[in-house]
Structure 1
Amino acid sequence: MAGAAAALTMLCAPAEAAPAHEIGGSGSASDGAAKVPDGSVSPAGANDWSCPPTAAHPRPVVLVHGTWGNQNDWNVLAPQLKAEGYCVFSLNFGRDTGSVMGAKPGVYGTGDIRASAGELAAFTERVRDATGSAKVDLVAHSQGALVARQYLRFEGGAAEVGSLVSLAGTNHGTTMNGLASLLPPGGSSGPAADLAATYVGTAAVQQLVGSDVVRTINAGGDTEPGIAYTVVATRLDKASTPPEATFLQAGPGATVDNIWVHDVCPTDTFDHGPLPQSPTIAYLVQRALDPAHTGISCPQH
């Protein structure tokens, strides 16, 4: 069991540590090394609590990061959305210092997904109060999609959200590129899973395929009535695997648009961690929020 926990830890490390270390735009050089944004400062364009929603974009946009990340994972997308006239908000959630990764500065998204959904609910309520908006739109990356769906189903979010854009979300759990099979069936519980959680955090283990959290969120269907879902996957994903497991099936009263990044831009090479930085993602997010949006710019490599 210790070997399984070590393998899971090794795979998790590149899976979502990348955003906190690779998102550009807010770091500065010090002693020859780039400073890692620690989430203490909002992304440019985000968290202007006096922002008035417009008739063109009446719903504020709340950005929900993934495992081991923080609000600076949105340093690229947040100012782009702000420039398009959206009121943009971002939060840090899931700070749990009880694991090796969770104790690191600036690392969030390690705590219990159910508790994180409560944090998202409280933050969204604050956004709605500040803007006077009845509903918000959510844009969520990786674990953030599960947190958002937990909020929609169990924290009253279905009445407070117009749309959810899921980017490489672990919506049906992840096999972690096959290493999850090293844990016992239902591998979010038991000694091996507990050991893994002491390294990677509770939320990482809760995202394994077949976990209690994943099963509970998906019980009774993937969607909530009245919500428009846009679900984006990349075939380069090595963290949310198999990549197509992110896709959702529409239930009564909901709409779902499942999209492969490479069907839109075949040249896009952004994988799981840095996906929120992709120009393709910027286009797909804005199109999801406003179907009239045009101006796609595929990455050139």
Structure 2
Amino acid sequence: MEVALPSSRQHIRPLRSRKDILAVADLIEICFADHMDFDGREYIRYLRRFAVPDEGLTGKLLEPFQVPVRGLVWEEDGQIIGNLSLISFNRQGKRYTLIANVATHPAYRRRGIARLLTENALQQIRERGEPEAWLHVREDNPAAIHLYQSLGFEEQCRRTSWLWEPHYGFLPKVSNDKIRVLHRQASDWPLQSRWLDEIYPPEISWNLSLDKNRLKPNFWKDLWHWLNGGEALHLSAYRNDLLAGVISWQPTSAYADILWLAADCQHEEEIIAVLLPAAGRRLRNGRPLAVNYPAQRAIEGFRRAGFQPHVTLIWMRIQFS
């Protein structure tokens, strides 16, 4: 016997207070416990830190304007049992909205709550005049994939996050007589830039922390960085004396530092196997390393380099007519 679902108008409202934030943090932790990684747990801690109220007059006056995330919640009997976050990005004059953290408490599932939250979010995005909306879903979550497809979302790509962590052991030294690894030269940039655009195209780079201007060679910028004790790493791989790949390191405050990989697709397997461990060994900072790459590409190369697949996400988009 199916449970009759009351009108969503009675239960869906905007997320709007510190009290909401604490309940949402608890809900996300419950719903994603099986897959939550270090950055996910840090996000939960961030929400809970914010949820501690400022009891002063200023804190009370500013509270309605200080909620760190936007979104919708489903509330029943005074409890938040459903959530959907809306994250906005502005890149190169274009606005993007990402739907995230769609969660329903396990005791209330199979009642259509996630569908109704998503439909309401899409209506809001459409009414703001935006032409599209995006979301990410794990490829091992067929129920969610089916839900989003039924709402009109279409798959755009699949991306795998590859990870190396210190407890995996030392990065291997992969030898290849055809490949030499050297410090990047300024003359390598045109090919690196072109490969970056192929591997991280504009239709997805808006949701990545890739900033090509930061990676572009610049003598004065690099000198200032060095004089201030900073560290930069850009390595090029030459195959039979022809440039075949470049890797650039980006330190982060997240769990893992990022390696931006740009390689000739014809030789990416062998380039990745040599270039990734070479970069990791030169860094020697004990930090985990992550690479975002198109799914199902260069799998053997990443494994030979000592990296393991962390998660594969399907990027989905819906366009409004």
TM-score, normalisation: structure 1:
0.30
Greater share of residues in strand:
2
Compare CA radii of gyration and give the structure with the larger one: 2
Q: More relative contact order in 1 or in 2 (CA 8 Å, sep 6+)? A: 2
TM-score, normalisation: structure 2:
0.28
